[in-house]
Amino acid sequence: MSAMMSDSELRVERRSGASSTTPVDTDRISDLQDSVKRIEDMLEKQTLSPKKPGHGHEGVVDVVLGAQWGDEGKGKLVDILSQNYNICARVAGGSNAGHTIVVGDKTFKFHLLPSGMLHPGTMGVIGNGVVVHIPTLLKEMKSLEEAGIDFEGRLKISDRAHIVFDFHQQVDGVQEGNLGRNKIGTTKKGIGPAYSSKIVRNGVRIGDLRFFDDFKERFRALVEHAERAHGNSLHVDVEKEIGYYASVRELIVNMTADTIALTNTAFDSGKRILVEGANATMLDIDFGTYPYVTSSNPSVGSVCTGLGVPPNKISNIFGTVKSYCTRVGEGPFPTETLGETGDTLRKNGGEFGTTTGRPRRCGWLDIPQMRYSTLVNGYSVLNLTKLDVLTGMEEVQIGVAYKFEGKCLESMPSSLNVLKNVQVEYEVLAGWEEDISDCKEWDDLPTNAQVYVRRVEELLGVYIRWIGVGQDRLAVIDRYDRYTGSP
């Protein structure tokens, strides 16, 4: 053996089991050492200078989330932004979501389709985390066609997304009715029962339609399980249902794709992806006011689990918050304002559910709730909507602290017994009379409106980039000149 052999080569020789009489391939060892050195250098660079998504040739994944109890105006921001993105994706929930977009004299109401579908250069993706009621989806598609929106080839549905069947909606209604006084306030769109089927592992997925014999077998087994569980309160015409899905199968299969591969490949090739959140953080199954919540995770984690992109690909998280606060359905609502003020907010804000038509409960902006939402989601910036609704009020209040049994709470309580009994401390600010619906720039806003926005920023420690001043899609002030992020 050559006396020139290094210690590292000797170690390699011994680990490989070579005897003293076996010649050593020094060129091979040298190549291995070079490879190890390159890997070490690469790891050192990644540790010292981690790559930020959106730089170089990589794409962008930006996220629009609801920061309160829903109905904050996420769809409007998505509509504004999506023209600058290649893909607009839904990642959680189902037809229980409702996003309204006003374009001139036309009003579009989205429940399953991504709002970005209104832009001809944007592809819509329904991710694996969404539960899809196919009749509702087809109805929405038809409404777009009737409005002259050409989306042929621009909608892709995950083959891993689960199907909401009509009987899931029946079950939803039965379960809600059985709760009596303790009802949740569900939309009865079958979302919870569909996610239950998914978790029990007997659900049926969009991709199952490709192999229709398997689809029929799985559907029959699912119905049998549901009828056993609910007895005489549920009966499903299995053959009728199978006939319906046979009639729409080809249409759905042609839109079905591996959206995990699609979105990640798009990102790697430099494409821009916008995720449209549904529902909101305070309705999150884990972080919300359980059990008065939805059955999915409308917080930032759903981007990874519901679209299949890793967290290091996420660039910006845009939280959407009303200038006041609303809630639909049951559950605690600390800043709820009853009487004349609540009625004024409801009337001026048009606070009636897009999906159910139910009047929304109204109240003042809740800072402890928003701090919690910010903690969970890590918002890059905020989109403050419906500032115009506060116009004409002599004074505007902001809930700034919770007290329980005389002590200030430092975090959002998980116990509803605590949350429903908190005392809210308010700050009172002067209102404004000026009409702000035509304001285009920050400096156009009345001084008192500016004071309100700045105070919210100060209390939350998050910059407010967008300010909604009216219903139209263009009635938004963009403070981009004061912001260094993207897009």
Domain boundaries, the chain: 7-43, 60-158+258-482, 162-256
360 marked ligand binding residue: yes
Tell me the C-alpha distance between 343 and 401, whole Å.
Answer: 24
240 is catalytic: no
pLDDT in tens, the chain (487 residues): 444 444 444 333 333 333 344 455 666 667 667 766 666 665 554 444 344 444 456 799 999 999 999 899 998 899 899 999 999 999 999 987 776 777 767 777 888 999 888 899 999 999 999 999 999 999 999 999 988 999 999 999 999 999 999 999 999 777 766 666 666 666 778 899 999 999 999 999 999 999 999 999 999 999 999 999 988 888 899 999 999 999 999 999 999 999 999 999 999 999 999 999 989 999 999 999 999 999 999 999 999 999 999 999 999 999 999 999 999 888 999 999 999 999 999 999 999 876 667 899 999 999 999 999 999 999 999 999 999 999 999 999 999 999 999 999 999 999 999 999 999 999 999 999 999 999 999 999 999 999 999 999 999 999 999 999 998 888 999 998 765 554 4
pLDDT at 5: 43
Tell me the C-alpha distance between 109 and 102, whole Å.
Answer: 9
72 marked ligand binding residue: yes
CA distances from 458 to 127, 317, 324, 359, 454 (A): 36, 19, 16, 31, 6
243 marked ligand binding residue: no
354 marked ligand binding residue: yes
Which position among 62, 71, 79, 208 bears the catalytic label?
A: 71
319 marked ligand binding residue: no
162 is catalytic: no
Tell me the C-alpha distance between 151 and 108, whole Å.
Answer: 15
- Contact between 54 and 315 (Cβ < 8 Å): yes
pLDDT at 17: 37
Cβ burial of 133 (10 Å; 0-12, 13-18, 19+) is: buried
**Structural domain 162-256, CATH architecture:** Orthogonal Bundle (1.10)
119 marked ligand binding residue: no
Which position among 111, 162, 198, 313 bears the catalytic label?
A: 198
pLDDT at 18: 37
**Structural domain 60-158+258-482, CATH architecture:** Alpha-Beta Complex (3.90)
381 — alpha (psi -120 to 50), left (phi > 0) or beta?
beta
H/E element, 449: helix 447-460
Using the 8-state DSSP alphabet, how is residue 70 labeled? S
Cβ burial of 129 (10 Å; 0-12, 13-18, 19+) is: buried
In sequence order, the β-bridge partners of residue 359 are 352
100 marked ligand binding residue: yes
Tell me the C-alpha distance between 304 and 125, whole Å.
Answer: 14
Tell me the C-alpha distance between 450 and 462, whole Å.
Answer: 15
pLDDT at 42: 55
